[in-house]
Each structure stands twice: as structure tokens, then as C-alpha cells.
Amino acid sequence: MRNYNYQNKWQKLLTPEIVSLLTQIHEYKGEQTLFIEAKADTLTQLVEIARIQSTEASNKIEGIYTSDDRLKSLVVNKTTPKTRNEQEIAGYRDVLATIHENHDFIPLKPSIILQLHRDMNKFNGASKGGEYKKSDNVIAQEDSSGNRIVRFKPVPAWETPIAIDAICEAFDEILAQTDVDPLLIIPMFILDFLCIHPFNDGNGRMSRLLTLLLLYRAGYIVGKYISIEKLIEQTKETYYEALGNSSANWHEDKNNYLPFVQYTLGVVLAAYREFSSRVKLIADGNMSKPDRVREIIKDTLGKITKTEIMKKCPDISQVTVQRALNDLVSSGEILKIGGGRYTAYMWNHDKENEK
């Protein structure tokens, strides 16, 4: 059986790139902790938007969809799911809310993982969730010709409970015995969880919920305000590439955690950077709402839609955003691209250079 001890493995990850990522994340965390404590009420709308985006993105990665209106109703109003996809979405919604609100009281234990999986599947029937796989499974994909290719063969069903016990114990031991940064151990644990693949269904979504839980418990709560799942969904190809590279030779205990750890830290850093840009707009009480819209577009590389602007400043009404956009287009400071539902805007750098 594989050795799940992290004691002699994490030091190999301290490359200059990893150290740089850790340093930047720590700096952002320090800067933003006081702001979060002082402006909790102001950030409520960001929390709501992040929950919707997280629920949508994590399910979307697995091919689970519903309409935008139904998604918002499911997450915000907690309406009753009508379809199989909506059952999956509603289950994720509830576990995400549990983690958001109670992470300090949810330790990493095999029984907790089973309970979270049960709750994630509670709308699908009691028999589906909360139990480890009863038969061996494989991680496969289809090639362009429709042929099924096995990408990875997880641990067998009989070994799954032992393996989950082992990684939970190893996680607790390494954080209790050394001064290792939990930001290194969390993605190592998640990679092992995905390679064990303990459930017949829902392993990917569970891995993302556990990522949030462990980040929150370690004090990195940026995922409450910026959807980490959305950032993963937007970089899905890179995610799968890193996962594949880090899972090679996993059964022989010779795998390289570095690609997956570096990818995960990059996502966390991207979330902190996005949060920082939004915080600056909220914190500047002297900046008018139209000026905030202007700064958002100016700071965006490429085009941005009205919907994306509103998500960055949820306290500004749609009417105010549209009026600001009209004024900025009229003045020539921004360019309007496309029309109808595909309308987008971008900063007019040529106009800027004329000044």
C-alpha cells in the first residue's frame, strides 16, 4: 500500500516559484484580514455572488447545468429542485453553505467526509450519498474517435476506507508536528483524495468543497468573496493537466506533487488579487459610482460585459451602471463592442494617448 505520510515530501516543493506564490498569498491575506473584519456588512453581496458562481462552476465542470434564472433561485431562494441536474446543484449549494458558516467546527475526519458527501447527494436519494464505492472504478475519457481511454486507476474499493483514514491522519500529523505551511499540504491532500477516488460519483465536486473547507480552517477565507471554483472552471484544461502530471506514478509513491500544488496556489493567488481589486473600489468612499465603473473598465485587459461589471460592484444598480456606460461611450473613453446580449466594453487606449 502507498505511504501517505507527508513528512518527507513537502520540502521538495519549496522551489523559487512556490515560495514566491506563498509569499504573495501571505501578503494579500495580511492586508485584507482587517478590511474583512471592518467591512463585513459591505461584503455581503460579494458573498452571495461568490456562492452562486461557486455552485454553478463546480457543477459545470462535471457537465451539470441549469438556466441562469433557475440557478439563482436555487442558490439564493433555496427553491425545490425540479430535475436531476438541479438536485445535484441544490446538494452542492447546501454543503457549500454549511462550510461557509461552520468551517471552524468541521474537522477533517473520514466520518465528516462521508457526511458531507451524503448531504451533497441528499436530493438524489439516501442510497447514493455518504458511502464509499462498493466496486472498483476508473478515471476515463473519450478520444476524438469515441474510444474510451483509462487515464487513471484509483485504489480498489476494499482499500478505500483505509486510504481515506490514512490521508486524514497524515494531514493532521504533519500540521501538528511541524511549522509547514498548510497551503502546501492542502493541495497535496486533495491530490491524494482525487487519486483514491473514494466515491462512485461526486469526487470532483467533493474535492473542491474540501479545498474550501481546509483553506477556511487555515485562515484563507478569500473563497467566500471570490469564487475559487469559478477560477478553476475558467482554467479547466490547465487543472486537468496539472492533475494528470501530479498523479503519474502515484501508486508507486513516486509522483510529483509540484504541478498540482503550483496550480492550486496560482488559483488562490488569483482569487486574492481579484478580491484586492474589488476591495479598493469599495474602500474608496470618495469615488463616485460612475467613477468606479470607469475604473473597472480601465483596469480590465480586453473587453468586459455589463453583467461582469455589476458582479464587481454589486452595490451599484443596473440603471446607474448603464448610465455610466452610456456617458463613457459618448465621451469616447470606452469602446462599445457588439450589440444586444453580446454587448461588451473596453477601455479606449487610443483616446487616452491623445491626452
* For the chain, domain boundaries: 10-281, 287-354
Q: What pLDDT score was predicted for residue 155?
A: 94
Burial (CB < 10 A; 0-12, 13-18, 19+), residue 333, is middle
Yes or no: is domain 10-281 CATH 2.70.150.10?
no
Q: What is the pLDDT along the chain (355 residues), one digit of tens a residue?
A: 788 999 889 999 999 999 999 999 999 998 887 777 777 677 887 888 899 999 999 999 999 989 888 988 898 877 889 999 999 999 999 999 999 999 999 999 999 999 999 999 999 875 678 999 999 888 877 666 777 778 889 999 999 999 999 999 999 999 998 789 999 999 999 999 999 999 999 999 999 999 999 999 999 999 999 999 999 999 999 999 999 999 999 999 999 999 999 999 999 999 999 898 877 776 666 778 898 899 888 888 789 999 888 877 777 888 999 999 999 999 999 999 998 888 999 999 887 656 5
Handedness of CA 206, 207, 212, 215 (dihedral sign): positive
Nearest alpha carbon to residue 239 among 214, 265, 202: 265
Model's pTM, two decimal places?
A: 0.85
The answer to whether the beta carbons of residues 91 and 122 sit under 8 Å apart is yes
Residue type at position 97: A
Which run of H or of E encompasses 316? Answer: none
Nearest alpha carbon to residue 25 among 270, 228, 299, 283: 270
Burial (CB < 10 A; 0-12, 13-18, 19+), residue 152, is middle
198-199-205 Cα angle (round to 5): 100
The answer to whether the beta carbons of residues 57 and 230 sit under 8 Å apart is yes
Buried b (16+ CB within 10 A) or exposed e, 208-245: bbbbbbbbbbbebbbbbbbbbbbbbbebeeebeebbee
Q: What pLDDT score was predicted for residue 117?
A: 96
The answer to whether the beta carbons of residues 122 and 114 sit under 8 Å apart is no
Give the fold, CATH level 3, of 287-354.
Arc Repressor Mutant, subunit A (1.10.10)
Burial (CB < 10 A; 0-12, 13-18, 19+), residue 259, is buried
Same fold, 10-281 and 287-354: no
DSSP 74: I
Grid coordinates belonging to 276: 484586492
**3-state class of 141 per DSSP?**
strand
Residue type at position 355: K
Q: Cα separation of 64 and 49, whole Å?
A: 19
Task: Give the helix ranges, DSSP H, for the chain.
Answer: 16-38, 44-61, 68-72, 84-102, 110-120, 160-177, 182-196, 203-217, 228-234, 236-247, 258-283, 289-298, 306-312, 318-331, 349-354
Q: Cα separation of 127 and 130, whole Å?
A: 8
